[in-house]
Copies of this chain bind each other. A is one copy, B any other.
């Protein structure tokens, strides 16, 4: 189940310490201008070091397009892209081999497969999102041709909303305590035409929820007024319509740009919650693979907050879904 999408299909592969991470984008229309530069600029946004407080681990992450592009344009054939992992000779992952880190998928993965690549989390590592960003960069090229833009930003970190300086401070504080913080990312899709999304199980909202909840560390999603809708009256939640210069205009957007799971032509607005990074250097109680109680301190250069780095990943997943639905919408 490493493929997402019905017509614009993305398959990802790769472990954090294997030879390479990558993806195959199948179903991208032919004739779209695409270069490694387009991909690289998105990848660079995901890199650590975007904030002074994020992890200082150097990842060069240079994309290589293996197929699907000829003379600068997409061929309509599968676009395979990889990023080679750097050799990590100095890394010491042996000590994580037999212990289940709290908050991580070590235990569930071991239970499911009876075997896992324990080096840096293997496929469950956040590094897996490199492939999502590469695929998202292709999707964004399709969206750009339709004048659709996706903008995400961290609206809340560690309980602080609004002020970037305070957000940075709360991350810094968590770091100094050997702890971590989470937050909220808002994603806004601008310029999507009305009519995207399919009934009943192909609702745009359902597909966006699937795609965004699949991002590691995301524990919830809401559209428009979201969880606040639980406390509203119908007369408050419903968005009235009126005509303006021959066009239907909504007076507000509590629906988040989606009615019946289909886009209304307004901004599509959603928020996801990102849990605090699981890797913390504070001691935690846990168990070993062979069933002994133990304590663990996850050392190494871990992000005390991954919210800023999830921003381009969230955009990518939203872009993949919208690209897919643009294609699906051609044959209604």
Q: Which residues of A contact B (CB under 8 A)?
A: 1-4, 6-7, 9, 11-15, 18-22, 24, 26-27, 29-31, 64-68, 70, 73, 75-80, 82, 100, 102-105, 107-109, 111-117, 122-124, 128, 156, 158-159, 174, 177, 179-184, 194-195, 197-203, 205-207, 209-211, 213-214, 216, 219-227, 229-243, 246, 248, 251, 255-256, 258-265, 273-280, 282, 284-287, 291-293, 327-332
Contacts and interface: CB of A to CB of B under 8 A. Distances in A.
A63 B115 CA distance: 24
Given A107-B259, A184-B227, A233-B276, 20 more contacts: A3-B201, A13-B80, A14-B80, A15-B68, A19-B65, A76-B113, A76-B115, A77-B199, A105-B260, A107-B241, A108-B197, A181-B232, A205-B213, A209-B209, A213-B223, A219-B224, A220-B229, A230-B274, A330-B331, A331-B331
**Count of identical protomers in the assembly:** 4
A326 B76 CA distance: 17
A77 B13 CA distance: 7
Contacts of A262: 105, 108-109, 111-112
B214 A200 contact: yes
Nearest to A210: B210
